[in-house]
Amino acid sequence: MGAKLFTPFTVKGVTLKNRIVMSPMCMYSCPNEDGMVENWHRTHYASRAVGQAGLIIIEATAVTPQGRISPNDLGIWNDDHIQGLKELAGLVKEHGSAIGIQLAHAGRKAVLEGEIIAPSALAFNEKSKTPKEMTKQEIDETIEAFRKAAERSKKAGLDVIELHGAHGYLINEFLSPLSNRRTDEYGGSAENRYRFLRQIIEAVNTVWDGPLFVRVSAHDYDEDGLTPEDYVQIAKWMKEQGVDLIDVSSGAVVPARINVYPGYQVKYSEMIREGAGIATGAVGLITSGIQAEEILQNERADLILIGREFLRDPYWPRTAAKELGVEIEPPKQYERGWK
């Protein structure tokens, strides 16, 4: 019997050779503070492609300079960013992996000089800066920045776009009532809090017809916050808008204590997958092939995202295959040392 982990997954004409996805992870490796792809990114992402990941999702990449988490973030706010991303896409695809990008705006979590923006003028915690409440014009401009970023992603030859709607960054800040206290059409009801993401998806859909994923934080871990049940409804709306997969993470919209253990977010993926009838990705303390296989076979997710374990082991797919007793093809150059 083969392992489901090593079966292909096709979405909107893009086929991933297996279900293993490198989770987006910020590298903060743009020393010139210009958001440009550097040698670090080339080495880091190409290594995981040599290691046989089915899909590699490039780290949170800022759609505006003000939307960076730090000055050293990768960027896609300018046409000058296209060339570096195109080279990166070429390097990764050369090894048979698909490549995606996580489009992001940090909102109130930006640690930058100058003004930062968010749905409401509420700081994340006592140490962080108080953001300025976004005007309608700033909302429109940000939606347009996501659209332009999607257009640039296409020009760079990227296979998948993932919108970063998790971890307390801007999109998440609009979704959660804990960070969104607006009284206009972008705040109040669940529909209103979803409006910003709805309009981003609409805008992206005008220029992008490839696979579209959205990462969410399915639990705010706060009694007044959002729960996985709320995200089932949000996922239904996303499905109606043509989103292909929900990448299910959790937390970080407000400071909260989270009880973490192996696979701690998998149950949220399962709930959203069943409740909304949409493909999901599971992430969070998934470190072994057996764990990944259990999640897929029990239909708790369609893709497995690996974060820190991929930092420790760039050839994690090989490690997982050995554990599951299946053989996967090595890069030709490594045939003599792969088994």
Instruction: By CB under 6 A, name the one of 52, 120, 249, 280 that touches ligand FMN.
Output: 249
Q: How far is the CB of 276 from ligand FMN (least distance, A)?
A: 20
The neighbour count for residue 109, using CB atoms within 10 Å, is: 23
Q: Which is nearer to ligand FMN, 182 or 300 (CB)?
A: 300
Burial (CB count <10 Å: 0-12, 13-18, 19+), residue 336: exposed
Q: How far is the CB of 189 from ligand FMN (least distance, A)?
A: 26
Q: How far is the CB of 308 from ligand FMN (least distance, A)?
A: 3
Q: How far is the CB of 127 from ligand FMN (least distance, A)?
A: 20
Interface with ligand FMN in residues 282-301 (CB under 6 A): 283-286
Q: How far is the CB of 307 from ligand FMN (least distance, A)?
A: 3
Interface with ligand FMN in residues 85-104 (CB under 6 A): 102
Contact of 261 with 241, CB cutoff 8 Å? no
Q: Which is nearer to ligand FMN, 67 or 284 (CB)?
A: 284
Q: How far is the CB of 333 from ligand FMN (least distance, A)?
A: 28
Contacts with ligand FMN by CB under 6 A: the residue count is: 20
- The torsion region of residue 28 among left (phi > 0), alpha (psi -120 to 50) and beta comes to left
How far, in Å, CA of 202 to CA of 204, rounded?
6
Half-sphere exposure in the Cβ direction for 308 (13 Å, CA): 5
How far, in Å, CA of 29 to CA of 6, rounded?
31
Helices first, then strands: H and E counts in the chain: 10, 13
Per-residue x/- mask for ligand FMN, residues 6 to 35, rule CB under 6 A? -----------------xxxx---------
How far, in Å, CA of 303 to CA of 265, rounded?
13
Query: Residue with structure tokens 């374990």?
Result: 309
Interface with ligand FMN in residues 298-337 (CB under 6 A): 306-309
Q: Which is nearer to ligand FMN, 294 or 309 (CB)?
A: 309
Residue 200, both tokens? 């981003």
Count of residues making up the chain? 339
Looking at residue 130, what DSSP letter applies?
P
Question: What string of H, E and C letters represents the secondary structure of 35-63?
Answer: CCCCHHHHHHHHHHHHCCCCEEEEEEEEC
| Position closest to ligand FMN via CB | 307
Q: Which is nearer to ligand FMN, 59 or 151 (CB)?
A: 59
Q: Which is nearer to ligand FMN, 17 or 215 (CB)?
A: 215
Instruction: By CB under 6 A, name the one of 60, 88, 178, 282 that touches ligand FMN.
Output: 60
How far, in Å, CA of 305 to CA of 250, rounded?
14
Q: How far is the CB of 261 from ligand FMN (least distance, A)?
A: 11
Please, which residues have CB within 8 angstroms of residue 80's CB and are 6 or more apart in sequence? 36
Q: How far is the CB of 266 from ligand FMN (least distance, A)?
A: 11
| 219 is an interface residue for ligand FMN by CB under 6 A | no
The residues binding ligand FMN (CB under 6 A) are 23-26, 59-60, 102, 164, 166-167, 215, 249, 283-286, 306-309
